Structure 1
Amino acid sequence: MNEIRTKVQLIDIDDDMAGQRIDNFLRNQLKSVPKSVVYRIVRKGEVRVNKKRIKVEYKLQPGDVVRIPPVTITEKTDQQPVISTKLNAVANLESQIIHEDDHLLILNKPSGLAVHGGSGLKFGAIEALRALRPQARFLELVHRIDRDTSGILLVAKKRSALRHLQAQFREKTVQKYYFALVMGTWKRSDKQVTAPLLKNEVNSIVRVNPKGKPSDTRFKVLENFDKATLVQASPVTGRTHQIRVHCQYKGHPIAWDDRYGDPRFDAYTKTVGIDRLFLHAANIKFRHPTNDEWMEISAPLEAKLEKSLTKLRQL
Structure 2
Amino acid sequence: MNKTPIPILFQNQDFVVIDKPAGLNFHSEESPGLVALVQQQLHLDKIYPVHRLDKMTSGLILLALNKKTAQQFQSMFEQRQIEKTYIAISDQKPKKKQGWIKGDMLPARRGSWKLAKTLHNPAISQFESVLIQPGERLYFLKPKTGKTHQLRVAMKSISAPICGDDRYADANAAKHEDRGYLHAYLLRFTLNGKPFEFIKKPNSGKRFTQQACQELLQAWLQTDKSSN
**TM-score, length basis structure 1:** 0.61
SS in structure 2 of the partner of residue 207 of structure 1: strand
Q: Count matched residues.
A: 213
Check the 8 A contact 1:188/1:220 in 2, yes or no. no
Check the 8 A contact 1:186/1:221 in 2, yes or no. no
Check the 8 A contact 1:185/1:224 in 2, yes or no. no
SS in structure 2 of the partner of residue 93 of structure 1: coil
Change in 2 beyond 3 A, CA 1:298/1:253: same
Give the alignment's Cα RMSD to 1 decimal.
Answer: 2.5
- 1:205 and 2:117 correspond: no
Q: Which runs of 4+ in 1 moved over 2 A?
A: 183-190, 209-213, 262-267, 303-313
Change in 2 beyond 3 A, CA 1:224/1:133: closer
- The 5-angstrom pairing of residues 166-245 of structure 1 reads 166-186=74-94, 190-200=98-108, 203-210=110-117, 213-245=121-153
Q: Distance in 1 between matches of 2:80 and 2:182?
A: 21
Q: Which residue is equivalent to 1:301?
A: 202
- The 5-angstrom pairing of residues 28-67 of structure 1 reads none
Q: Distance in 1 between matches of 2:163 and 2:45?
A: 39
- 1:103 and 2:4 correspond: no
Q: Distance in 1 between matches of 2:16 and 2:93?
A: 37
Cα deviation, residue 138, structure 1:
3.0
Decide which structure has the larger Cα Rg and report it: 1
Cα deviation, residue 275, structure 1:
1.4
Q: Distance in 2 between matches of 1:300 and 1:190?
A: 21
Change in 2 beyond 3 A, CA 1:204/1:188: closer
Check the 8 A contact 2:129/2:137 in 1, yes or no. yes
Check the 8 A contact 2:96/2:158 in 1, yes or no. no
Q: Which residue is equivalent to 1:127?
A: 36
Q: 2:179 aligns with which of 269, 276, 291?
A: 276
Deviations 1:195-239 (A, max 9, x none): 221124x73210123567411111111443211210101111111
Q: Which residue is equivalent to 1:41?
A: none
Deviations 1:90-126 (A, max 9, x none): x4234x11111111111110011111114xx232011
Cα deviation, residue 130, structure 1:
1.4
Structure 1, unaligned stretches of length 5 or more? Answer: 1-87
Point out which structure has higher relative CO (alpha carbons under 8 A, 6+ apart).
2
Deviations 1:227-277 (A, max 9, x none): 12101011111111111111111111110110100357548xx5xxx4110
User: What percentage of aligned pairs have identical amino acids?
Assistant: 23
Letter in 2 for 1:158: N
Check the 8 A contact 1:186/1:229 in 2, yes or no. no
- 1:249 and 2:157 correspond: yes
